[in-house]
Amino acid sequence: MKKSLLAGVALTFAMSSAAYADILIGTAGPMTGQYASFGAQMKAGAEQAVEDINAAGGVNGEMLKLFIGDDACDPKQAVAVANQAAGEGVAFMAGHFCSGSSIPASAVYAEEGIVQISPASTNPKFTDERPGEGIFRVCGRDDQQGAVAGQFLVDNFADKKVAFVHDKTAYGKGLADATMAAYEAAGGKPAMYEAYTAGEKDYTALVSKLKSEGVGVLYVGGYHTEAGLMARQMREQGMDTVLVSGDALVTDEYWAITGDAGEGTLMTFSPDPRKNETAAPLVEKFRAKGIEPEGYVLYTYAAIQAWADAVKTAGSTDFEPVVKALDDGTFETVLGSLEFDDKGDVTLPGYVFYEWKDGNYDYLVQ
């Protein structure tokens, strides 16, 4: 009996040691709430990356385990998630989604020596004012996106009144301001600049004002839920105003909100990684599972790829050698070959325009 008990203790210890050999990494974003479709994109990308890396032998012989945090795009909740991740021993965070979450959470990761690579946070402050050297992103920046969008508005809508609105968030206001600044620098004169409240369902008053001002183009700094309602309500008031926005419209939920009212909506986003030849097998793998790897699915996958390769180069998950490997390395990912600059920004192709047609978005053909 005693011998059996000792054997059980030994087995428990062995199992415990094996568990501690796993490397815990995380992804965090809006898993619930009105932006949950983006959280689902991140979760799908992270789960597939962990599955594929483990199937190939893991990282330095150790298997990855995934922590999933729900910040609901709320700054306070994001800090709580970051602290929870640190408490559970997360070595790396592929997150967050909203800039308003990533920025405050980054202070926790910097303090705790956790590498953070955001797949989606585009506000310049995220890297311009990063609290530590372990903060990176694999997406572009709002000032880059705004420069492309602002020039486009001048080049293509010189004969129309252009209005700018934003949702007061770090992402939405940052994007609207960057785009309007580029628009003005190129000679454009904004017809209107206003804020709206995210989460509302009725934008009739705003739409009525746009109509009375004769606005022909509405630039929305914000997310797909509110932009979709604005598009629908403009059509309900008989307006043919073109809605233009940014990368937060890269979800099929936008069309689910707008229906045919979304036809002709324009948006900026990085070149579609689903069209990369190197990503084709992975795209098919997702689709075989019934998952369309739209939006930030492949960006999350790539963030984990880059970190895993840096860990292999460093020979450990220790913070400083991994950061050095990320700073110095070139990483082959589903987004293409990428490097990070001295701010932690990624060196990838810039933004291009897309158009919503028949329930799908694709490159704008001019």
Model confidence pLDDT, tens digit, residues 128-186: 999 999 999 999 999 999 999 999 999 999 999 999 999 999 999 999 999 999 999 99
**The pLDDT value given to residue 349:** 85
Mean pLDDT, residues 215-234: 98
Predicted local confidence at residue 16, as pLDDT: 37
For residue 203, with 0-12 CB atoms within 10 Å meaning exposed, 13-18 middle and 19 or more buried, which class applies? buried
CA torsion angle 322 328 332 337 (round to 10): 140
pLDDT > 70 in the chain, percent: 94
For 246-264, b/e burial (b = at least 16 CB within 10 A) is bbbbbbebbbebbeebbee
H-helix or E-strand containing 302? helix 297-314
* Statement: residue 8 has pLDDT above 60: no
Amino acid residing at 289: K
Residue 364 pLDDT > 60: yes
Residues 247-253: what's their mean pLDDT? 95
> Does 18 have pLDDT greater than 60?
no
State the number of CA atoms in the 13 A half-sphere of 134 facing the CB: 26
Class level of CATH domain 2-140+275-338? alpha beta
Domain residue ranges of the chain, discontinuous segments joined by +? 2-140+275-338, 143-269
Chain CA centroid to CA 366, Å = 27
CA distance 20 to 342: 33
* Residue type present at position 249: L
Q: In the predicted model, what is the mean pLDDT of residues 237-247?
A: 98
Q: What is the pLDDT of residue 207?
A: 98
pLDDT, tens digit, 9 for 90 and up, residues 291-322:
999 999 999 999 999 999 999 999 999 999 99
Beta strand pairing status for 331-333 and 336-338?
antiparallel
pLDDT band at 243; cut points 50, 70, 90: very high
Average pLDDT of the chain, as a whole number = 94
pLDDT for 87 equals: 98
Q: Are domains 2-140+275-338 and 143-269 of this chain identical in fold?
A: yes
Q: How much of the chain exceeds pLDDT 90, in percent?
A: 93
Point out which residues pair with 268 in neighbouring strands: 353
Contact call for residues 159 and 209 (beta carbons, < 8 A): no
The pLDDT of residue 200 is: 95
- Report pLDDT digits (tens) over 194-217: 999 999 999 999 999 999 999 999
Residue type, 287: R
H helix or E strand, kind and range, residue 301: helix 297-314
Q: Six-digit token pair at 347?
A: 């060196």
In 3D space, the residue among 16, 104, 108 whose CA is nearest the CA of residue 121 turns out to be 104
pLDDT of residue 2: 32
Kindly report the pTM of this predicted structure. 0.91
The residue-averaged pLDDT of 20-24 equals 81
Torsion angles phi and psi, residue 168, rounded to 5: 75, 0
**Terminal C-alpha separation, the chain:** 80
Cα distance between residue 329 and residue 313, in whole Å: 9
Render 246-293 in DSSP notation, one character per residue. -GGG-STHHHHHHGGGGTT-EEEES--GGG-GGGHHHHHHHHHTT---
pLDDT at 11 over 60: no
pLDDT at 51: 98
Q: Give domain 143-269's CATH number out of 3.40.640.10, 3.90.1150.10, 3.40.50.800, 3.40.50.2300.
A: 3.40.50.2300
The secondary structure of 306-324, three-state, reads HHHHHHHHHCCCCHHHHHH
Comparing C-alpha atoms, which of 65, 242, 240, 83 is closest to residue 149? Answer: 242
Are 265 and 356 within 8 A, CB to CB?
A: yes
Handedness of CA 191, 166, 212, 231 (dihedral sign): positive
Q: Is the pLDDT of residue 13 over 80?
A: no
pLDDT of 7 > 90? The answer is: no
Q: What is the pLDDT of residue 366?
A: 81
